[in-house]
Amino acid sequence: MSESYEYLFKFLVIGSAGTGKSSLLNNFIGNKFKEDRCHTIGVEFGSKIVNIGGKSTKLQIWDTAGQERFRSVTRSYYRGAAGALLVYDITSRDSFNALSNWLRDARTLASPNIVILLVGNKKDMEESREVTFTEASQFAQENELMFLETSAKTGENVEEAFLKCSKTILAKIETGELDPERIGSGIQYGTGTSKRLSAPKKPARSPSDCACHV
């Protein structure tokens, strides 16, 4: 349609129930914050075109339900995600403790190259904080994740989270670490024809990478 973009990234937002995943997504795509939001049922979806390093990139974001009973439904959406926001609630120790499980799911079900950004949400509720920035940073470092603390309520760092993750993906494409051509990479070339023309160049440059995947 009218929108044109160079890349399309499939994104996941995962994490325990009630950590504010949907609020993050809604904030990002420009909806208002709702104080009393229902639990997500199954999977919801949002998309936004952002500009990353001069390249317009469409983010196709799947906002998954955090509740355990939806695991089987949501897992089927992990496939081929290029990036993920792994969300916990800084006021909930439990949500932080569950991170390892979510991380394992993401790495096994999505592509192993998935770029994951750890998000400590509800930054605005400092007074009921249960997880310190330092320990979360440490967790991120140990698991090779990027890390940001956000507030979907105030909007602080929300856009940054998505952008930072996208930038990393883009950087990986440019270094050849990620191959958009590979099925299940979670990356697609955009709609513009001019971009399509530029697409064939990429695989030519990185045949060795292809071999790596096998």
Interaction site with other proteins (CB under 8 A): 1, 30-32, 38-39, 41-45, 60, 62, 67-70, 72-73, 75-77, 79-80, 183-184
- Closer Cβ to other proteins, 16 or 148, answer by number: 16
Taking the C-alpha atoms of residue 15 and residue 98, their distance in angstroms, rounded to an integer, is 8
CB under 8 Å to 114, separation ≥6 — which residues? Answer: 12, 81, 82, 83, 84, 106, 107, 186
> What is the DSSP pairing of strand 7-15 with strand 55-64?
parallel
Complex with other proteins: residue 196 or 205, whichever CB lies closer = 196
Q: What is the closest distance, in whole angstroms, from the C-beta atom of residue 44 to other proteins in the complex?
A: 8
Least distance between other proteins and beta carbon 93 (Å): 23
Which of 193, 208 has the CB closer to other proteins? 193
Q: Which CB, 33 or 56, lies closer to other proteins?
A: 33
**Shortest separation between residue 35's beta carbon and other proteins, angstroms:** 11
In the chain, the amino acid numbered 185 is S
Distance (Å, whole) CA 183 – CA 130: 40
Q: Report the residue number, 31 or 175, with the smaller CB distance to other proteins.
A: 31
Burial class (CB in 10 A: 0-12, 13-18, 19+), 78: buried
β-strand 7-15 against 187-189: which pairing, if any?
antiparallel
Give me the least distance between CB of 193 and other proteins, in Å please.
Answer: 12
Task: Report the nearest approach of other proteins to the CB of residue 120 (Å).
Answer: 25
